[in-house]
Amino acid sequence: MAASSIRARVRAEMLDEIKVVARRHLASDGANLSLRAVARDMGMVSSAIYRYFPSRDDLLTALIIDAYDALGAVVEAADAGADRLDLRGRWHAACRAARDWALAHPAEYALLYGSPVPGYAAPDDTVGPAQRPPATLIGILHDGMAAGRLAAPDPGELPEPLRTDLAEVADSLAPGLPAALLARGMAGWTQLFGLISFELFGRINRALPHRDAYFDHQTALMADLIGLPR
């Protein structure tokens, strides 16, 4: 058994090291990751990599899941670090954590939220980790409703086909959350994604030297829209 586990442990270390090297390549060369280059960096022959990842897409999938989990973890930790009843503080902490992670890991962020890699379909393993960041944001609204610190928007602002759609999503994601509030929470999540993507990919913000202040202001506007108390 010990002999068996030594081989398994070496294998696990290899898997990790391949991912570490691949992440380094991702950071320098972008999304078109070269298995041969990774192998070269590890002193292996290219075909040996296929013992560990049956295809390039499988390596990408592993990196994507790791990245989703890393992002989800920092967002959840930031949210957990704020006073439970300070909804606005939690909102800003979660948003800032997502942005900080993205700025620190731009290539991995691009892998998650950039244009999909052509010919690559993300397997179902990714949907769970992918939902951690938005689920955290929605959780803030859910807690706010439960604590009576957050008012539900007028349900009449939702036209009918949409109201039932959103109500079903709310039931499965955060039971009891009013559909109209869920819609505003999703608006906040969409905005967060857009802000980070523009800052990372775009060029508009070149005219705005104080990016932190811009980001905080924009997320504050969304907090206003949601109705988080000041």
Residue 121 binds DNA, judged by CB under 7 A? no
Binding site partner of 184, from its own copies, DNA, none, Cβ cut-off 5-8 A by kind: its own copies
**Binders of its own copies among 147-176, rule CB under 8 A?**
157-159, 161-162, 165-166, 168-169
Residue 218 binds DNA, judged by CB under 7 A? no
Residue 224 binds its own copies, judged by CB under 8 A? yes
Tell which one of 114, 143, 152, 227 touches its own copies (CB under 8 A): 114
Binding characters for its own copies, 172-201, by CB under 8 A (x = yes): -----------xx-xx--xx-xxx-xx--x
Contact 229, 88 (CB under 8 A): yes
**Binders of DNA among 22-61, rule CB under 7 A?**
33-37, 40, 43-48, 50-52, 54-57
Site residues (vs its own copies, CB under 8 A): 29-32, 110-111, 113-119, 122, 127, 130, 134, 157-159, 161-162, 165-166, 168-169, 183-184, 186-187, 190-191, 193-195, 197-198, 201, 203-204, 207-210, 213-214, 217-218, 221-222, 224-225
Site residues (vs DNA, CB under 7 A): 1, 3-4, 6-7, 11, 14, 33-37, 40, 43-48, 50-52, 54-57
